[in-house]
Structure 1
Amino acid sequence: MRTQTVAGLVCLLLICTSPAALGVEAGTPTQIDTGDADSSISVRYAIERLPSQTGRVCVTATIARPQHVTGLSVRTPAETTVLRADGLRPDGDRWRISDDTETARLTYTVPVGLTTTFGQRTADTDRWTLLARQEVSLRARWRWHVGPRPAWNESLALAAGQRGVAGATAVYIGPHERETRTVDGDRITLVVPAAADLRPGRAAVLDSISHAKRASTAGPDHGHIRVFVAPNELAAGGYTPSNGESDVIVNAGEPVRSPLSVWVHEYRHTRQTFETAPAMDWLEEGSADYHTAFFTYSAGGIDENRFRERITTERHETADLTRPDSWDGPGAQYHKGTRVVAAIDARLRQATDGDRTFETVLDRLTRQDERVTLALFAETVSAVAGDDLDAFVRESVTGNAPSVPADALADRDLRRSGAADTTDRRANAAPSVDDTAVTATNPAGGNRDSLDAARPVTDRHGEWTVLGTLGMLSVLLARRQRP
C-alpha cells in the first residue's frame, strides 16, 4: 500500500511537470550553457531611408533564436507594412518563427515621428532621418525548455549605402558631422546634422557633458556616449530613448550655461538604471534636475545665486510626490523633486563631513534588485547618513518641501567617475529650459504602462526546470521505498 501511494504521487508529479501540463511546447530539452551569449535572443534592426516615402523608413529585422527557445512570435509596430518574411509565418496579428528556423528575417516599413508631451522628437524628412529604437522595434513573446528566462537583445544598424550614425537606441541618417571627446578613456560623440544650427559651441557642449561624466559616481559609466543633436525644427528640449543606455537626443538650440541644461540633464538619464515603483517615479527626474544644477554650478557655468534659486524653488512645494494624480501640473517632480533631493544631499554631506552624498544613495539603489519604494528610499538615505532620517524623508516627499541648507552644497571641486553595468530602462524627454513649468518627462504623458507594454514579454518563467527537478526527486524517493 505504501509503495502504491508513493507510485501514485510520482505519477501525479510527472503529469504536473510535463510540458503539456505547463503549456510549454513539448520536445526533448537541449542542454544549454545559459551563461553563454548564445542563450539570448538577438534581433538586429537595419534601417534604410525611403526617398519616395517621406515619413517612413524600411527596417530589416534579423532574429537569431537559440536552440532552447522552442516558440517565438513577434508583433510589428503600429501602421507597419510587411514587405517580406523569411522563416516566419503570419499568426493573427503576430508573426511566428517556424519550428526549424534558427535565423529569421522580417522586412517592413514603419512611420517615424515620435511625439511626447512636449512635442515631436524624431522625424523622417526629404533630407534626413532621426529615429528612436522603440519606433521600429518588434514586440516579442517566447517559450523555452530549460534555464533562466532568455534575454531579448536589440541592436541598431544602418542598411548598406546609408550614411549616418547608429547608436544603441537612436539612429541618424543624413549629412552630418561628428566630434568626439575622450574622457577618462571613454568617448563622447556629438552627432551634428547639417540641418541643425547648434547654438552653443561644440566645445561648450562637450565640456559640460565631460564634467558631468567625471562628477557622476552612480550608475553605468558608458564606454561611448552618443549625443544626437536634433535639428531645430523639432521640439525644443531633449529626449533619452532608454534610461541607463548610452544615447541622448538634444535640440540644437539648447543653451549650456543654465541650471536647467538639457545637455547635462539627458546625460544624467544615461546613468539611471534603478527601477522605481510608480509612487517613486519622480526620483528619476528630480535627481536628474538637481544634479544638472549642481554640476553646472560646480563647473562654473552658473553663479551661486542661480544655483541657490534653483534648488530652493517654491514651485509645487506642497505636492505629494508619491501621488502624481494629485499634482496641478507635471512640473512637481522637477521643481519639488529637485528641492527634496537637494535637501537630502545637504543633510548627508553635513552628517558625514562630506564623505557621502546623494550619489551614494543612487549608487546603492542601483545595486538593489527590487524596485525603489518610498520605504526603501528612506531606509537607504538613513543607512548612508548613519542616522535615522526616515521621518524627514517621508515628510519631505509627501508633505511640504523641506528647507535646503545651500551652504553645504557649495563644493565646486567634484571630479569623480564611476562604473557599473547597464540595463534597459524606460525613456525620458526634456522640454526647452525656456519652459519654466517643467524640465523633463517620460513619453506619452508619463504613462508607464504604455512603455512597459512595448518591452519584450515571455509566456513562461522556467517553471519546467523547477517542477521537473521535483519530479526527479519523487522518482528517487519511490525507488528507496521499494522492498
Structure 2
Amino acid sequence: MLVFCLLAVLALGVCLTGTAAADAGDATAANATASATQDGETLQLTKRLHLTPDRPGQIEVTARFDDPDNLVELETQVPARATVIDTDGFSGSGGGYAWDGRTDAPSLTYRLPVNETRETEGPLAGRGDYTFVDAGEWAIVRTPQVGVSWSWRGGNVTLDRRTTVDGEGVASEAMAFLGPHSEYTRRANGQRFRLIVPAAASLAESRSRIFESMTAASDTLQVGARDASVFMIAAPTTSVEWSVQGLQTGGDSFWVQDDQGLQVPDNVWLHEYVHTRQDYDRNDGTRWFTEASATYYAALLSLEQDRIGFSAFRSRLRAGDVRSDPGEVLAAPSTWSGRTPYLKGALVAGELDRQIRLAADGRRLQTVFRRMNAAEEPLTAAAFEDIVTDVAGREVGRLADRYTTTDATPSMWSRTEHLRAFEGAAPRIEYAFAPASERFRVAGPYRNGSLDAGQPVELATGESLSLDVLVENTGDAAGEFEAAFAVDGRRLDEQAGSLDPDEQRRLTFSHTFDEPGTYTLTAGTRTVEVAVRGPSPPAVVDLQANASRVTAGDVVELTARLGNDATIPAAGTLTLYRNDTVVSTREVVVGPGSEQEITFAIEPPAGTHRFRLGNATATVTVDAPPTERDGTGSTGTTANGPGFGAPAVVLAVIVVALAGRRRRT
C-alpha cells in the first residue's frame, strides 16, 4: 500500500493538505500539525534558526528530517526568497528538493532574508517601516515555513514540525526572537503567558504589571478561543524604528514596542492580546471587527482595570465620530482610510456593546464575539446582523446593520449612560475544580475509580482520566459560558450553556493517554498537569511455600507477596520456574504504593526443587511415597533410604561377630 500526502505550509501559517491513492484500499493521509496525533510513524521536521551578525537582514535555517523506516519519497520546498547553501541527502528537483531515499536524517540549509516593511496609517502606526527585522545582534522574525510532501508504505506517516534556535533565542510556531534575552512566565485562566524581554529592550512597564493586565483580560474576555500559550516579545526600540506599535500573527504570538505603557486607552499590550482571541473566518463584510474589537476592548479593559478614567475612555471612542471621514462604510473596505476600523469601527463596537447590555439582561458584545468564534462558515455582514439580532433582539440587529452597511455613525455616550449600561447587573462566569475527592476519576486496564491526586496527576499508558470542573455564575445577571477542553493546546471538546445568577453546573471532560509524556489539560480556565509513563513490572518481595518437605502427590502452595512503590500501577506477566522450568504464568496488577499476594498450587514430583518468581526463591523437598506391601507381608524400600529385611539382619549379626573375634585375637 502506497500513500501520498502533500502539505503546503504558507508564510501565513495556513496548511493545505491533499491525498492521492495508488489503489482503493489506501489510507487517507493525516493533517500535519505541531505534533503527531495519530497512530503510526512520525516524520520529524526540525527547523534550526541561526543568527548571522555578519549578515544583518538575513538568518540561516537548517531543515532536518528524521525519517521513519516506511518512508518512500520526500520532497521539500524552501521559501521563495531563500538561497540554499548546503544539502545532505537532497537534490534539486522541479523547483524543490527531493530526498535520495538512502540518507538517514537528510537536511538542507539556506539563507533567508527576514526584514519586512510596510507603510501603516492609524492610531497604532509607528515612526518607521519595519514589522520584522534582523538588526545584527538580535532579530524578531516570522518563523520560517517550508513546504513538505511525502509518501509511505504501510501504516500512516504524520508530520511533526518543531522550531529551535541555535544559540540564544526562542521560537513559537509563528514568531521567533534570536539573540540574548530573558524569558518570564505566568499562568492564569488556563493560559501560559510567555514574556520575552531581549537584552536590548528596556520595558516602560514592569513585568508584573504587564502580566496583571494580560491575566485580568484573559479572565474578563469570555469569548472562547483561549490559546494554551501566549507568546509575547518586547521589541527593542533603541536601534529600530517600527512600522506599528505592536503586531500579532499566527494566532498566539505578538510583539509590542518596549516603550509602550499600560495607562492609555490605546493599550497595545491589550490590543494585541485581544487579537489572539479572534478565531472567526471573516470576509469583507466583517473585516472591520478585527481591529475595531481589539481597539475597543483595549480601551474598555483599561478602564475596567482602573488604568484610565472615563474621560480618557470617552475621548478615545469619540474620535470615531469627530475624526472619521464621510462615506466610510464598515462592511465595504473600499471606502476606508487606513484608520477607519480603529476609529469608526471601535465606536460602533462600543455602541453595539452598550445597546446589547441595555436590551438583553446579562448579554454583551462578548456574547456576539463568542458566537462569531464558534461559527463554522465565513462571517458576512448579514451573518453578523443575524448574530446580533439573535443575541439582543431585532431593534439592536437593525442598529448593527445601519452602522455597518451605511455611513451612519453613532455618537459617543455620556458618563451617566455608561453607568446605566455598564455598571448594572452583569454575569460573572467562574470555573473551579470539583472537591479533591471528586475531581479525578481513572479508568483503564489497571484500575477504575476515583483518584485523589495532586499535580501532576500520574497515570499509566492506556488509562483514561476524567476531570470534573464546576462552572458558576457569581454575577447578578444570567450569562452564557463556553468551556473548552484542550490537551497541550489542542481543543478536543467543548461544553456551552447559560447560567442564572448563583447557578452552578458540573462539567466532565475525559481523555485517554496512549503515549508516555507530560501533558497540560485545560478545562474552562482551569489547568492540570498530567505525567504519563508505562507501568513497571510488579516487584516480588517474598516467596514462601506452605511446607518445606512434603510427600510426592501432595499439593504445594507457593504464596508470593508483590509490592509496588511507584505512584502508578505496576502490571505485567510473572513466570514461576521450578528448577529453571516454567510451571505457571500469571498476569498481575498491583496498585500504586500497595502490596498484594498471589498463590500458586503445584504438585511437584519427588526430589528437591528450587522455585523462583522474579528475584524471590523457595526450596521444597518432595519425598517419594511408601511402596505397597508384598505377599509375604514385608515392605519395600522407601524414598528415604534402604530397608532392613531378614537377610540384612543376618548379615549385620555376622559382621558384629567377626568384629568381636578380631578384637579377641
The two structures have a TM-score, normalised by structure 2, of 0.53
- Give the Å deviation of 1:166: 1.9
Whether 2:227 is the aligned partner of 1:222: answer: yes
Among 368, 382, 404, the residue aligned to 1:397: 404
Among candidates 276, 284, 287, match of residue 270 of structure 1: 276
**CA distance in structure 1 between the aligned counterparts of 2:372 and 2:103, rounded to whole angstroms:** 41
Deviations 1:297-327 (A, max 9, x none): 1000110111122233313264111222222
Q: Tell me the residue number matched to 2:588.
A: none
Residue 105 of structure 1 is matched in structure 2 by 107
Q: Which moved more, 1:106-115 or 1:34-43?
A: 34-43
Q: Secondary structure at the match of 2:290?
A: helix
Secondary structure of the residue that 2:285 maps to in structure 1? helix
Question: Hey, what's the Cα distance between the residues in 2 that align with 1:224 and 1:237?
Answer: 22
**2:200 equivalent to 1:198:** no
Q: C-alpha deviations, 1:184-211, integer Å up to 9, x for none?
A: 3532222111111211222222222121
- Asked if 2 retains the 8 angstrom alpha-carbon contact of 1:215 and 1:414, the reply is no
**Distance in 1, Cα, partners of 2:57 & 2:162:** 22
Separation in structure 1 between the aligned mates of residue 187 and residue 270 of structure 2, nearest angstrom? 17
Q: In structure 2, what is the Cα distance between the partners aligned to 1:324 and 1:178?
A: 39
Aligned to 2:140: 130
CA distance in 2, matches of 1:129, 1:48: 10
Q: Quick check: 1:25–1:70 contact (8 Å CA) kept in 2? A: no
The residue identity in structure 2 corresponding to 1:225 is V
SS of the aligned residue for 1:121 comes to strand
Is 1:382–2:389 an aligned residue pair? yes
Contact 2:89 2:106 in 1 (8 A): yes
In the other structure, the counterpart of 1:343 is 351
Decide which of 407, 410, 415 is 2:422's aligned counterpart: 410
- Contact 2:19–2:28 at 8 Å: present in 1 too? no
The 10-residue stretch of structure 1 (281-290 or 84-93) with the greater mean CA deviation from structure 2: 84-93
1:126-174 Cα distance to aligned partner (Å, 9 max, x none): 32122122xx21245679999x9x9976542223xx1222223221122
Larger Rg: 2
Is residue 58 from structure 1 mapped to residue 60 from structure 2 by the alignment? Answer: yes
Moved more, 229-238 or 102-111: 102-111
Candidates 369, 375, 380, aligned match of 1:373: 380
Secondary structure of the corresponding residue to residue 55 of structure 2: coil
Partner amino acid, structure 2, of 1:164 = G
Q: Which moved more, 1:106-115 or 1:77-86?
A: 77-86
User: Which of the numbers 325, 329, 351 marks the counterpart of 1:320?
Assistant: 329
RMSD of aligned Cα (Å): 3.6
Q: Deviations over 1:57-105 (max 9, x none)?
A: 1112235789999876543223311123345432332234567899753
**By percentage of residues, which structure has more strand?**
2
Q: Is 2:76–2:146's contact at 8 Å kept on the other side of the alignment?
A: yes
Relative to structure 1, the CA distance from residue 140 to residue 53 in structure 2 (aligned partners, 3 Å threshold; closer, same or farther) is same
Tell which deviates more after alignment, 199-208 or 370-379: 199-208
User: What pairs up with 1:3-42 in 2 under 5 angstroms?
Assistant: 24=20, 26=22, 29-31=25-27, 36=38
Aligned pair in 2 of structure 1 residues 56, 291: CA closer, same or farther (>3 Å)?
Answer: same
Q: For residues 381 and 64 of structure 1, what CA distance do their matches in structure 2 show?
A: 50
For 1:104 and 1:28, locate their aligned partners in 2 and report how far apart those are by CA, in whole Å.
Answer: 31
Change (3 A) 1:361 1:27: same
Contact 1:321–1:333 (CA under 8 A) maintained in structure 2: yes
Answer yes or no: is 1:250 the counterpart of 2:246. no
Deviation at 1:267, TM superposition (A): 0.6
**Structure 1 CA distance for aligned equivalents of residues 153 and 404 of structure 2:** 45
Unaligned runs of 5+ in 1: 1-21, 425-483
Aligned length: 394
- Give, in whole Å, the separation in 2 of the partners of 1:285 and 1:229: 21
Residues 363 and 103 of structure 1, relative CA distance in 2, 3 Å threshold: farther
**Higher RCO structure, 1 or 2 (CA under 8 Å, sep 6+):** 1
Question: Which residue identity is paired with 2:130?
Answer: Q
| Contact 2:168/2:180, CA 8 A, preserved across alignment | yes
Match of 2:660 in 1: none
In structure 2, which of residues 361, 370, 375 is the aligned counterpart of residue 363 of structure 1? 370
Instruction: Answer 1 or 2: which has greater helix percent.
Output: 1
Q: What amino acid sits opposite 1:45 in the alignment? A: K
CA contact (8 A) 2:295 2:346 kept: yes
Whole-Å Cα distance in 2 between the matches of residues 101 and 282 of structure 1? Answer: 50
What CA distance in whole angstroms lies between the structure 2 residues aligned with 1:411 and 1:110? 53
User: For residue 82 of structure 1, what is the aligned residue in structure 2?
Assistant: 84
> What SS does structure 2 have at the residue aligned with 1:210?
helix
Q: Given the alignment, which residue of 178, 182, 200 partners 1:177? A: 182
Report the TM-score, using the length of structure 1 for normalisation: 0.71
Counterpart code for 1:186: Q
SS of the aligned residue for 1:342 comes to helix
Return the offset for 1:345.
1.0
